C-alpha cells in the first residue's frame, strides 16, 4: 500500500484545506495517507472541521506558523522529520510555501523516494521588496531542483513559475487544477438565499455585492470599497456590499471607511452600505444570497471563491492576476488589470446596470465549472501523476 504524507501550511479556512482533505480521503483505496499541518493564525478560522468531517484525523504541528521564526521553524522541521521517519512514506507531497520549504527539507533528509510540491500561489510578486523576494526565489529554485515533481494549479501559474521567475524546470512541472465538492452550490439555493437575505435584512430589490477572503494587503480590499462607493453614486439600483472574511487589515479598512464616510456595520441586520460579516463557514449560503462577486487581489494562485461563485451561477468582477484568466469562463465575469481602478469601477457599474443579462450568462456556464473543478477529477489526475513518478 503506497503511503503518502501530505503537508499543508496551516489549517485555516480556505481552498487549500478542501483540496488536501479531498486528496487524503478520495485517492484510490490502495493509498494510505497521513495529513499534517500547522494551526490557524489569529483572526483566522480553523478549518480542521473539514478533514474531520471526511473521517480524517490530521496531525497538528503547532510550531509551523505563517511568519518566519527560526526557533519555531527549526522545531517544526524536527517534528516533521520525526513524523516522516515513523510513517515512512513513499511520497511526501507538500502544499504552499512554508509547508513546501520545511516539508521538502525533512523529506530530503530522510531520503524519501518521491517528493512533490504544489504551488497554490506564490510570493514572487506583490508581497515583499526586491531583496527579500530574491532570497525566496533562490530558496524555491533549490527546493524545486530537489523535488521529483512540481504541481501548478493553472497554465498561467506554470508559465509564471517556469518562464517568468525561472523557479522550476518545465519538464517536471505538471498542471493539475484544483478540485472541490461544488454540487452544494447548486442545491437548495432558494432556501439558502432566503436565509442569508433575511439575516442581513436585504430587500428583494437590493443587489448584494460580496467579496470573500482573507483581509490582507495582497487582497487589496480598498479597491473594493472604492468601486462600491463609485457604483453607489453612479447606478440607479439599490446595492449593499458585504466583506466576508477577517484578517490583519481589518482595522485599516474600517479607518478607510471612516475617512471616506462610507456607512459600515458589523451587525447582520443593520441596513448600511458596507457590512463586515467576519468569516462565514457556509460559503454556499453566502453565495446563494449574493448577486455579484468581486475579487480585487494584486496576486493570486487560483482563487477558490471565484470557482465557487461560478458554480453558484454568480457573475464576477475581478482583477486579472495569477490564474484567474484560466478559471474564469468569459461568460461569467469581467476582468480589469491590477492598478486600473477606473476599469474595475466601470466593470462593476456595467454588471449592476445589466444585472439580469449577466446573471443569465453566468447561470448557463455553471455546469462547465462543476465538471472541470470536481474533486473526482483532481484525485484521478493526482493518482496518475503519482503512478508515473513511482515508475521513474
Residue-wise pLDDT tens digits, 220-263: 999 999 999 999 999 999 999 999 999 999 999 999 999 999 99
| Model pLDDT for residues 282-301, shown as the tens digit of each residue | 999 999 999 999 999 998 87
Judgement on whether residues 240 and 133 belong to the same structural domain of the protein: no
| Model pLDDT for residues 43-89, shown as the tens digit of each residue | 788 999 999 999 999 999 999 988 888 999 999 999 999 999 999 99
pTM: 0.81
Judgement on whether residues 187 and 139 belong to the same structural domain of the protein: no
Average pLDDT of the chain is: 93
Judgement on whether residues 30 and 169 belong to the same structural domain of the protein: yes
Judgement on whether residues 218 and 102 belong to the same structural domain of the protein: no
Domain of residue 269: give its range: 183-372
Judgement on whether residues 308 and 342 belong to the same structural domain of the protein: yes
| Mean pLDDT for the stretch of residues 121-143 | 79
Q: At what angle do helices 97-109 and 130-146 cross, to 10 degrees?
A: 40
Q: Is 267 exposed, middle or buried (0-12, 13-18, 19+ CB in 10 A)?
A: exposed
User: What Rg do the C-alpha atoms of the chain give, in angstroms?
Assistant: 21
Q: Are the beta carbons of 246 and 278 closer than 8 angstroms?
A: yes
Judgement on whether residues 381 and 367 belong to the same structural domain of the protein: no
53 vs 392 pLDDT, higher one: 53
Judgement on whether residues 206 and 160 belong to the same structural domain of the protein: no
Judgement on whether residues 146 and 190 belong to the same structural domain of the protein: no
Number of compact structural domains in the chain: 2
For cell 472574511, what's the residue? 245
Judgement on whether residues 195 and 169 belong to the same structural domain of the protein: no
Judgement on whether residues 203 and 145 belong to the same structural domain of the protein: no
Judgement on whether residues 16 and 132 belong to the same structural domain of the protein: yes
Judgement on whether residues 59 and 188 belong to the same structural domain of the protein: no
* Secondary structure of residue 257 in the 3-state scheme: helix
What's the CATH code of the domain at 57? 3.40.50.2000
Amino acid at each position: 500500500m503506497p503511503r503518502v504524507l501530505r503537508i499543508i501550511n496551516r489549517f485555516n479556512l480556505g481552498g487549500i484545506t478542501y483540496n488536501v482533505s479531498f486528496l487524503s480521503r478520495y485517492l484510490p483505496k490502495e493509498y494510505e495517507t497521513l495529513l499534517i499541518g500547522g494551526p490557524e493564525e489569529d483572526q483566522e478560522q480553523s478549518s480542521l472541521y473539514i478533514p474531520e468531517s471526511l473521517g480524517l484525523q490530521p496531525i497538528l504541528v503547532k510550531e509551523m506558523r505563517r511568519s518566519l521564526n527560526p526557533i519555531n521553524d527549526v522545531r517544526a522541521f524536527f517534528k516533521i522529520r520525526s513524523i516522516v521517519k515513523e510513517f515512512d512514506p513513499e511520497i511526501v507531497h507538500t502544499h504552499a510555501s512554508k509547508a513546501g520549504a520545511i516539508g521538502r527539507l525533512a523529506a530530503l533528509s530522510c531520503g524519501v523516494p518521491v517528493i512533490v510540491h504544489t504551488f497554490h500561489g506564490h510570493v514572487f510578486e506583490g508581497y515583499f521588496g526586491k531583496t527579500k523576494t530574491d532570497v525566496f526565489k533562490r530558496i524555491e529554485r533549490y527546493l524545486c531542483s530537489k523535488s521529483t515533481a512540481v504541481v501548478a494549479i493553472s497554465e498561467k501559474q506554470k508559465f509564471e513559475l517556469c518562464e517568468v521567475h525561472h523557479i522550476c524546470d518545465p519538464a517536471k512541472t505538471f498542471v493539475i487544477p484544483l478540485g472541490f465538492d461544488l454540487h452544494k452550490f447548486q442545491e437548495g439555493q432558494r432556501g439558502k438565499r432566503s436565509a442569508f437575505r433575511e439575516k442581513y435584512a436585504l430587500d428583494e430589490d437590493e443587489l448584494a455585492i460580496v467579496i470573500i477572503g482573507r483581509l490582507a494587503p495582497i487582497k487589496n480590499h480598498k479597491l473594493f470599497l472604492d468601486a462600491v462607493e463609485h457604483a453607489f453614486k453612479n447606478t440607479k439600483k439599490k446595492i449593499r456590499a458585504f466583506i466576508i472574511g477577517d484578517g490583519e487589515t481589518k482595522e485599516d479598512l474600517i479607518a478607510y471607511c471612516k475617512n471616506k464616510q462610507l456607512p459600515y456595520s458589523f451587525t447582520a441586520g443593520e441596513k448600511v452600505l458596507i457590512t463586515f460579516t467576519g468569516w462565514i463557514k457556509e460559503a454556499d449560503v453566502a453565495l446563494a444570497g449574493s448577486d455579484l462577486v468581486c475579487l480585487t487581489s494584486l496576486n493570486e494562485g487560483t482563487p477558490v471563491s471565484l470557482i465557487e461563485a461560478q458554480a453558484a451561477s454568480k457573475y464576477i468582477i475581478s482583477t486579472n492576476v495569477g490564474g484567474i484568466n484560466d478559471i474564469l469562463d468569459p461568460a461569467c465575469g469581467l476582468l480589469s488589470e491590477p492598478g486600473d481602478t477606473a476599469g474595475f469601477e466601470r466593470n462593476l457599474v456595467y454588471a449592476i446596470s445589466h444585472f439580469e443579462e449577466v446573471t443569465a450568462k453566468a447561470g448557463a456556464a455553471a455546469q462547465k465549472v462543476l465538471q472541470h473543478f470536481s474533486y473526482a477529477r483532481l484525485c484521478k489526475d493526482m493518482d496518475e501523476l503519482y503512478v508515473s513518478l513511482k515508475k521513474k
